[in-house]
Amino acid sequence: KAGVTQTPRYLIKTRGQQVTLSCSPISGHRSVSWYQQTPGQGLQFLFEYFSETQRNKGNFPGRFSGRQFSNSRSEMNVSTLELGDSALYLCASSPEGQGALRSGANVLTFGAGSRLTVL
Amino acid sequence: GQQLNQSPQSMFIQEGEDVSMNCTSSSIFNTWLWYKQDPGEGPVLLIALYKAGELTSNGRLTAQFGITRKDSFLNISASIPSDVGIYFCAGQGYSGGSNYKLTFGKGTLLTVNP
């Protein structure tokens, strides 16, 4: 089956603009998680959505938001972009979410990421 | 929140050498996952561990879920140039209420010299 698809792969924005990134999960996966990756900072958790509800949220300002649609596709939005928002944004889907206790149900499958550059 | 200590931060080795990296936590985890990330791509799952003491292999890779449930290691035998990348561990632990979530280590950057 098709993997996790993220669009766009690359984009350039200027400070103050806003951006929307899209993620299509693996068919049948109900959970989508978003991460920000910058050099030396590892994977910083943004939020997780499950069945259109935000289930967990990381320590990011309110400029970062997301949503999930009934078909499990998800979008994240960053408003009023800052230079420090330049990063690789990764989306990951899982069958039942990060909190699932059944073996395999919590495993994340990542997309290739959206590389955002803010000038 | 939960913290994962992944070490080493980076490794520079010669082709053919064995590699070992590990993750430790002060909290108990239910699941340990090991991922590899190639430049410009998303992390790819290498090995998943679900039981304390579990030892699992995937080709030249071997990982173990520590008996205390607070640590895990990943070994790579006979390294090759394509092993280059960033290796992440992730542990599923309790995050409050009835919630569990994954926590990622900061990664180990592996460089293999041909």
pLDDT tens across the length of chain B (114 residues): 567 999 999 999 999 999 999 999 999 999 999 999 998 899 999 999 999 999 999 999 999 999 999 999 999 999 999 999 999 999 998 877 767 889 999 999 999 999
Which pLDDT does position B1 carry in this prediction? 57
Cβ-Cβ contacts under 8 Å, A45 against chain B = 101, 104
Residue A116 pLDDT greater than 90, yes or no:
yes
Query: How far apart (Å, rounded) are the C-alpha atoms in residues B79 and B100?
Result: 35
Task: Pick A65 or B99 by higher pLDDT.
Answer: A65
Cβ-Cβ contacts under 8 Å, B106 against chain A = 41-42
Query: How far apart (Å, rounded) are the C-alpha atoms in residues A115 and B60?
Result: 31
Cβ(A71)–Cβ(A28) under 8 Å?
A: no
φ, ψ of residue B61 to 5 degrees: the values are -100, 140
Residue A7's contacts (CB-CB under 8 Å, 6 or more residues apart) are A21, A22, A114
Instruction: With CB atoms and an 8 Å threshold, state whether A113 touches B41.
Output: yes
* Residue B89 tokens, joined: 């561990």
Instruction: With CB atoms and an 8 Å threshold, state whether A99 touches B42.
Output: no
Residue B91, number of CB atoms within 10 A of its CB = 27
Condensed to tens digits (0 to 9), the pLDDT of residues B12-30 reads 999 999 999 999 999 999 9
